[in-house]
């Protein structure tokens, strides 16, 4: 199909979109009385309209049942989180017993490091990408210091080539081979937050484990965005936040994956708590910890049900649509956004530079050469919600659940107006 930068063409694409009805299942902020063009799903997804009913149900049960809600609510609280396992497993390519929902992302990374970063002798190094998300950097630095190592020696970063904005898979694999029996752990963001690059998780996992290292992934920008196959790839562990592409609400509960080969082990190093103990004996209050046979063995406390309810609401939508359909639309809408950017670039003086490689998900990161923060501010005032990263990168993430092709056209027109007006 020959793409066109016209409103009529964008509306034609929307009419052909099998997921177009899902846009109406989300709440949109408004600017100037008009729904925004929302490109910030990589920071915080929009609220599904069904979410309120899930939260209201919990609040009603709390009001009317109080403590009895743990066992006699329509969705009893004591096992509320278990309802997320099956749909969540489909999103990340896992078995239901390999996933659970608990805590928040960096908390879970710290907890998983207890089990999977076990430095010993010469094998103590961790491989990550250069300039990983700051929270990951802080977590890694504090972990290696806790074990008595110097972060400058223990943490090895794979760098980009001079003048390039992406990592080359061959560099990561070569560094793994070079470190060999000094490498204890590979931990990388599966989709980079800055440039939107999708890493070759399958191959990196295979090569990392071949040299004897454990391999884990921070999937904050991957879960709900790209097709994952964590079980089949043999990933040791992964964790992700739920409030970006998974639309569960600000700062909400994190998801965890632990491969089945690590489950059911009583002697695995792990920080433990009451809710990781077997359900059958949990309320017998025994002094000895008897772990669940699934990923829930890593849980510490009972689930924050009011927080988990929005996650369950969102997962019902993922269950209806499926990742295959979301990925298909994602590819089309991101391709159209790229086309719009290139068409607008022909009409204005600055040259846009898309720094997101072909291995990408929903996000395009764009250098706006010759433009600065004032253009970002203009877009925001006009109801185009984007994300700014220094020095002059705008991140655009048209989430396929609720973004339309008309949104892509609208964005292009506002972008051109802002540049020509020299805001």
Sequence-ordered strand ranges (E) for 30-103: 30-31, 34-35, 37-38, 99-102
Whole-angstrom distance, CA of residue 100 vs CA of residue 257: 7
Render pLDDT for 377-418 as a digit per residue (tens, 0 to 9): 999 999 999 998 887 899 999 999 999 999 999 999 999 999
DSSP 8-state code for residue 82 = G
248 three-class SS:
coil
Measure CA 394 to chain center.
19
Domains identified in the chain and CATH numbers: 7-35+322-420 (3.90.1150.10), 53-321 (3.40.640.10)
Q: In which band, very low, low, confident or very high, does the pLDDT at 39 lie, cut at 50, 70 and 90? A: very high
Task: Name the residue among 173, 191, 181, 104 with its Cα closest to residue 139.
Answer: 104
Separation CA 22–CA 353 (nearest Å): 32
Q: What is the pTM of this model?
A: 0.96
For residue 133, how far is the Cα from the chain centroid? 12
Q: Tens digit of pLDDT for each residue in 134-184?
A: 999 999 999 999 999 999 999 999 999 999 999 999 999 999 999 999 999
Residues 6+ apart with CB under 8 A from 124: 144, 147, 149, 154, 182, 184
């Amino acid at each position: 199909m020959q793409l066109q930068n016209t409103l009529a063409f964008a509306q034609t694409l929307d009419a052909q979109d099998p997921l177009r009805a899902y846009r109406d299942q989300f709440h949109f902020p408004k600017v100037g009385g008009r729904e925004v063009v929302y490109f910030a799903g990589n920071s915080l997804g929009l609220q599904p309209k069904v979410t309120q009913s899930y939260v209201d149900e919990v609040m009603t049960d709390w009001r009317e049942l109080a403590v009895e809600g743990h066992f006699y609510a329509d969705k009893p609280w004591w096992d509320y989180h278990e309802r997320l396992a099956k749909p969540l497993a489909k999103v990340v390519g896992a078995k239901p017993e390999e996933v659970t929902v608990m805590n928040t992302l960096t908390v879970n990374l710290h907890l998983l490091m207890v089990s999977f970063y076990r430095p010993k002798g010469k094998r103590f190094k961790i491989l990550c990408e250069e300039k990983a998300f700051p929270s990951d950097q802080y977590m890694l630095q504090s972990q290696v210091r806790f074990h008595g190592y110097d972060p400058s020696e223990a943490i090895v970063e794979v760098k980009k080539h001079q003048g390039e904005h992406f990592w080359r898979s061959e560099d990561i694999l070569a560094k793994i081979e070079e470190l060999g029996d000094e490498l204890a752990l590979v931990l990388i963001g599966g989709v980079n937050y800055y440039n939107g690059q999708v890493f070759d998780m399958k191959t990196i996992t295979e090569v990392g484990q071949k040299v004897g290292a454990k391999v884990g992934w921070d999937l904050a920008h991957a879960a709900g965005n790209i097709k994952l196959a964590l079980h089949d790839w043999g990933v040791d562990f992964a964790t992700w936040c739920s409030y970006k592409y998974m639309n569960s609400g600000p700062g909400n509960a994190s998801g965890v994956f632990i491969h089945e080969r690590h489950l059911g082990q009583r002697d695995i190093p792990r920080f433990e708590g009451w809710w990781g103990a077997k359900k059958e004996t949990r309320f017998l209050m025994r002094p000895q910890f008897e772990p669940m046979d699934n990923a829930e063995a890593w849980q510490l406390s009972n689930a924050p049900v009011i927080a988990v309810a929005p996650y369950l609401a969102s997962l019902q939508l993922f269950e209806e649509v499926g990742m295959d359909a979301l990925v298909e639309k994602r590819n089309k809408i991101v391709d159209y956004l790229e086309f719009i950017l290139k068409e607008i670039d022909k009409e204005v003086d600055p040259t846009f530079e898309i720094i997101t490689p072909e291995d990408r998900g929903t996000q395009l990161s764009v250098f706006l050469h010759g433009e600065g923060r004032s253009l970002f501010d203009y877009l925001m005032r006009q109801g185009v919600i984007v994300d700014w990263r220094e020095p002059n990168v705008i991140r655009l993430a048209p989430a396929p659940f609720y973004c339309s092709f008309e949104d892509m056209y609208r964005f292009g027109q506002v972008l051109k107006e802002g540049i020509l007006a020299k805001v």
